[in-house]
Structure 1
Amino acid sequence: MANFEGATAFVPRATAGEFDVDLDPQWALEDKPNGGYLLAVLGRVAGSLSTHPHLTAISGSFVQSPKPGPAVVTAELLRAGRGATQLRARLTQDGLPRVEALITQGVLDDAEPWWSGTTPVDLPPLADCPRSSTEAPGGAFRIHILDVVEQRLDPAVSGFKRGEPTGRGEFAGWLRLADGADWDPLSLVVAVDAMPPIGYDLGAPGWAPTVQLSAYVRRLPAPGPIRIRVTATEVGGGQVDHVVRAWDSKDRLVVQATQICALRLPS
């Protein structure tokens, strides 16, 4: 098991713009690396080509899930401006494209917002929210990433574990890195994809592979766990959306995201 920095490490190849990575099996659901983790790997590599220190936006398309193990990332600088750098990165494995992303690097601070239309999700204290198990309900598969990302769901939205989903299409809870490290702009990309698939709260449980995920990091997070809320807008056509917002220990929005996932509905 590698910590986040080790799990997203890379080694430059002799060819400019090519990098070797080793996808860590711990940051995965069964044998499928977590989508947010894959984007963080791409962001780590692409960020090495930028003079701007922080990932501020990333949008990824998931062509085919890779497996844990060796892979190659190709990164390209698109534009280096005064306020931001735009880049493109692709992850390939066995010669096939797996994930492709557009990335923006910039400079974040920890200032208070000038205006905000969001209210931090109201949660019970962290100690009153039991830690989620690495075993999916019914023992269908193992969620290895919950060994490295500590997930504590609000008991009010945990009925799906007993076969009693709320039907509201919502999850909320606490997240922190299990090794005690603080969140940073890159690891927050993992956080937006670390909650249960929203189908579990709608009576449509099971793996929901990500088709596309876009995340926006808003500021440097304060130390400590984050509070996170995921909601669905609509289910249909074999897809569901996840709308994500997370707040730091100072009640400030630190990251937001939207993703589209495939969803197999009950017959």
Structure 2
Amino acid sequence: MSTEFDRGIAVTARPSAPATYDTELGAGWQIGAGVNGGLLLATLGNALGSTFAADGGHVDPVSISAYYLSASRPGPAVVSTEVLRARRSMSTGSASLLQTDDDGGSVERIRALATYGDLAGLPDDVRTTATPPDLPPPDRCVSAADAPPSFMAQAGLLERLDLRLDPAYVGWAVGKPSGTGRIQGWLRMADPREPDPLLLLLAVDALPPVTFDLGLLGWTPTLELTVHLRARPAPGWLRVVASTRNLAGSFLEEDAEVWDSDDRLVAQSRQLARAPR
């Protein structure tokens, strides 16, 4: 069954250039004027996976780092990929997404470098001090669907998610941020789509910016985002926590963890972002 997420990250290889893909960035994945950075990363991830699979290679992203060069807009885009190294256990490649600007020229929106492998084939041994976030049950959290219509009109992404935020960190919505620099909650798609590695690339960037919890509302553009994927997620709810420890010089880091329904840490990320002006 084709889901909204699968359609949102769909890429079509050009017959004459198998490493070049056409895609359509949907308006339903916008936050403000731009397309969500996690959706863009998942689109690049899908194109890279298709490139590696065409050579009988690896299809799971293990690590991916992207630089956001300009704000993507809804509409047609082209993704170009390149295999940089293909080995038995890992493959590495790059991907770039381009759109046509108002003057008819080509402008690069995002460029990524990624290593792919087989997440299902990793050893079961886990040694960690990390623990899942302590969250109230989903029905006791604040649903993003309860946001004011004026906000939802500029955040089409939220209509595609079932996002339930921890009430302890949503005071910013009524002018009372905690000041902790933390937002956490439950996440799944609004349709029946279960999580997989590509969906984890969206999940790390799906929550409101942690700057909201610092009382700084507004656009927080991502400059660079790195995601490490640790395992294939189990079906069901994901728990996502995002936090920052340092905002200085108008920049901040935002760290995210994604936990699956089996209490496994399945993805970690760090992004550098610019604070709202």
TM-score normalized with structure 2 length? 0.91
Letter in 2 for 1:48: S
Tell me which residue corresponds to 1:61. 67
Give the count of matched residue pairs.
265
Shift of 1:230: 0.6
Q: 3-state SS of the aligned residue for 1:122?
A: coil
CA distance in 1, matches of 2:235, 2:123: 14
Over 3 Å counting, the alpha-carbon distance change for 1:129 and 1:140 in structure 2 is: closer
Over 3 Å counting, the alpha-carbon distance change for 1:213 and 1:134 in structure 2 is: farther
* Gap runs ≥5 in structure 2: 101-105
* Gap runs ≥5 in structure 1: none
Counterparts of 1:208-219 in structure 2, within 5 Å, are 208-219=220-231
CA distance in 2, matches of 1:90, 1:2: 24
CA distance in 2, matches of 1:70, 1:124: 41
Q: 3-state SS of the aligned residue for 1:133?
A: helix
Over 3 Å counting, the alpha-carbon distance change for 1:136 and 1:104 in structure 2 is: farther
1:229 is the counterpart of 2:233: no
Counterparts of 1:86-235 in structure 2, within 5 Å, are 86-94=92-100, 95-109=106-120, 112-133=124-145, 135=147, 139=151, 142-235=154-247
Q: 3-state SS of the aligned residue for 2:115?
A: strand
Shift of 1:30: 2.8
CA distance in 1, matches of 2:125, 2:257: 15
Tell me which residue corresponds to 2:49. 47
Flag the structure with higher helix content.
2
Shift of 1:116: 1.1
Question: 21-30 vs 185-194, which deviates more?
Answer: 21-30
Q: 3-state SS of the aligned residue for 1:56?
A: strand
Asked whether the equivalents of residues 152 and 158 of structure 2 are also in contact (C-alpha less than 8 Å), the reply is no
Question: 124-133 vs 245-254, which deviates more?
Answer: 124-133
CA distance in 1, matches of 2:92, 2:247: 33
Indicate which of 77, 82, 87 corresponds to 2:83: 77
Indicate which of 22, 25, 33 corresponds to 1:23: 25
CA distance in 2, matches of 1:229, 1:99: 25
Shift of 1:133: 3.4
Q: 3-state SS of the aligned residue for 1:67?
A: coil
CA distance in 2, matches of 1:264, 1:85: 37
Over 3 Å counting, the alpha-carbon distance change for 1:138 and 1:160 in structure 2 is: farther
1:38 is the counterpart of 2:44: no
Q: 3-state SS of the aligned residue for 1:206?
A: coil
Letter in 2 for 1:9: A
Over 3 Å counting, the alpha-carbon distance change for 1:139 and 1:40 in structure 2 is: closer
Shift of 1:153: 0.3
> Deviation digits for residues 203-229 of structure 1, max 9, x if unmatched?
111110110000011001111011111
Shift of 1:47: 0.8
Q: 3-state SS of the aligned residue for 2:80?
A: strand
Tell me which residue corresponds to 2:103. none
CA distance in 1, matches of 2:35, 2:151: 19
CA distance in 2, matches of 1:121, 1:137: 29
Shift of 1:15: 2.5
What fraction of aligned residue pairs are identical, expressed as a percent? Answer: 37
TM-score normalized with structure 1 length? 0.94
> Deviation digits for residues 61-83 of structure 1, max 9, x if unmatched?
00001111101110000000111
Asked whether the equivalents of residues 72 and 93 of structure 1 are also in contact (C-alpha less than 8 Å), the reply is yes
Provide the aligned C-alpha RMSD in A.
Answer: 1.9
Letter in 2 for 1:230: A
